[in-house]
Chains A and B, each alone.
Chain A
């Protein structure tokens, strides 16, 4: 596989023909505007040798300090950036940095969610455009700590087992062909870092039109907050089918109408 990938990468660079002038070469990494101690490692881990640029259009909006480490609200967007095919959100200094990945097939590259933070960290969004370049933006979040290693609230209260996978959702039509979807699912989203509690989280949420056409696909990881609340902007009118599953094979589905 690695040989095949290398071939693909060489091709990707070569085929692209004229790379943007500010794009880095495969071995050079631009200076991190957030000055994170883990940036080099994050880049290698998540973006590999793919071309990348820091791009101010990619915005990560959130409070400057986490009021509740278990539920930090974040909104990721990229006004002015088009042709985004893949969105990756990660927090450099979280014990489990990767938060989510999102393919806005028929949607804006915007997503709102909440996540668990363990300590002060940069939170970044990397958006890959159709030309293969990752556009990276982010901000620092201050936090006093402990969000990832504490048991989920539902574990103590015991309600997750009765309501696992319950979906609440609503659609807000914005203008013709554009609607906002907000959904909440009941799930403990256990990180596996709290003593004696196995890792257990939703790992995929697909949003489809009633004819089955994929509108957007979301992969969620351990740091996404318990009972995830997700907001996306779909280029679509009409009902949306939600199909989701967790890492233990439990399947959840719902249809939401405007």
Chain B
């Protein structure tokens, strides 16, 4: 039977008031039985409510730490699949997503801007949304999506054609659809949106096409723009449709008009420090890659920005790679945490930068507290000056091509794919350590002349990427933020490209391109468990509790930037088969045993 449009019922009610009143009561009872929806309070306490996962990052700060411990170093050997879900059709490619769990449903995004709602107990598909993408989309680095956001009765995700789409959690019907920017100019969007209070915060992708990065905050219920903050110096911000001050000071660190195609894309989105009410957004490389064409520090590229949630104004910034020549980018997530050091608790935040340094900053003011390498080789800098916060460079920049076709080439490490790329690290409140998915590779890089053309790649550089070691590229590392020391490391043949999660069960979970989801001892790095998922794991694992049991889920499906840019690295990954599958695990409990107990 067709669903009857509401007006039809209304017409009938008007002809008979008794039944009209009756059906009104039934409708009222139905709406009361439904959940009230995801509130800003629920979002802000997500990290401490293990029965749901409301945010990508398992909390606004993105620590990816769970207090659950039924799955632990002792029991993890019994972790077995509970159910799986195939994303279907031919659109496989990279699955970098993170599941969200709420109100008996799992919401999971997939490659090519797809989104599914599943019954979290059985894995049954409840509905699917597949965004109709134009042929001309220009995502630089695979057609991935990194997860959705929940707010009220909505599930909201961004698309490769730079739209933000809000769907009803129950029906999958589109409630609103806002264009973030023009995909034809190179904008796209792959990051998970961040909910802060009643706002939904997004960045933009497109740093390889000379876009201007910015952070937008919208009313999460309606999609209406509240404020916009450009991340390149010289551009005007807005608040409620009115001018809200220029970012930085025009031409203080750029010459001429170059800031107008200055990059600094906020392609990985943002995290939030609720106690200081600051939104932290990493910014990408300045455009073009060829730094000789854009003298100056090029603020606020390759930086972390702290933005006031209510005003959209920048409170502090820290630039990790001034005048970036290597596409080190600075987009990596900044994770607020409370650092215990010398008997004191410091309001800190940490970031493992593409440039190979693990930075610890004061999250209230951006003051540098520590910077230490988390990779084995950094050719471009010997350290970071703790007074100025600037890197101590080693004259490792590629040469100016001048009027030639190609400037002098240099070997630089890390490579432009970074000591760590997009894949989020985790912090354990148990061990006080960060778990960083790092990669050991370098590159030959040289510059070429380049001019800006709308919608065209804006690089002005050539490169080849090279593994630093024969036997491994990926290394999962435990970093002590207080000392900057590496506590343990676990090597992996192929580059690591998946998110990390830590739990109170003293476990660290992450995936590998070789297809495994793995669990490590959080204190020693000993590998305790692994499961072959059938394709490379570049997704972000989560855990939650349901009916007294702890569950773990991760998406499997090889892709991302590595197979597209890989160079010599391709040898390590070229035989990995593609996929598109969600795996859910729980501890094995013997049926016979449970019968016997009764």
> Measuring CB to CB, which residues of chain A are less than 8 angstroms from any residue of chain B?
1, 3-5, 7-8, 11-12, 15, 44-46, 48, 85-86, 101, 103, 132, 158, 160-161, 188, 190, 192, 195-200, 247-251
Contacts and interface: CB of A to CB of B under 8 A. Distances in A.
Given A48-B2, A196-B90, A161 B26 contact: no
Contacts of A8: 9, 12-13, 19, 23
B470 interface: no
Contacts, number: 70
B252 to A, nearest CB: 39
A226 to B, nearest CB: 13
A16 to B, nearest CB: 9
A172 to B, nearest CB: 28
A198 B174 CA distance: 14
Interface string B19-52: 1001100110010000000000000000000000
Interface stretch (B127-135, B195-203, B336-344, B385-393): B127-135
Given A4-B22, A161-B136, A196 B12 contact: no
B596 interface: no
Given A8-B13, A46-B2, 8 more contacts: A1-B26, A3-B26, A11-B16, A45-B1, A161-B136, A198-B131, A248-B165, A249-B165
B175 A103 contact: no
Which DSSP category, helix, strand, loop or mixed, fits chain B's interface?
mixed
A15 B8 CA distance: 16
B23 A158 contact: no
A103 to B, nearest CB: 7
Given A48-B1, A249-B177, A4 B130 contact: no
B23 A190 contact: no
B4 interface: yes
Contacts of A12: 12
A195 B88 CA distance: 12
Interface string B107-140: 0000000000000000000000011101110000
B403 interface: no
A198 B9 contact: no
A248 B131 CA distance: 7
A190 B1 contact: no
Lowest 4 CB-CB distances: which A-B pairs, in order? A249-B177, A198-B130, A161-B134, A200-B132
Nearest to A161: B134
A12 B11 CA distance: 11
B15 interface: yes
B7 A103 contact: yes
A249 B23 contact: no
Nearest to A10: B19
Contacts of B175: 249
A160 B130 CA distance: 17
B19 A7 contact: yes
A23 to B, nearest CB: 17
B4 A196 contact: no
B26 A4 contact: yes
B176 interface: yes
B575 interface: no
Nearest to B174: A249
A229 B134 CA distance: 23
B509 to A, nearest CB: 32
A15 B15 CA distance: 8
A4 B177 contact: no
Contacts of A160: 134
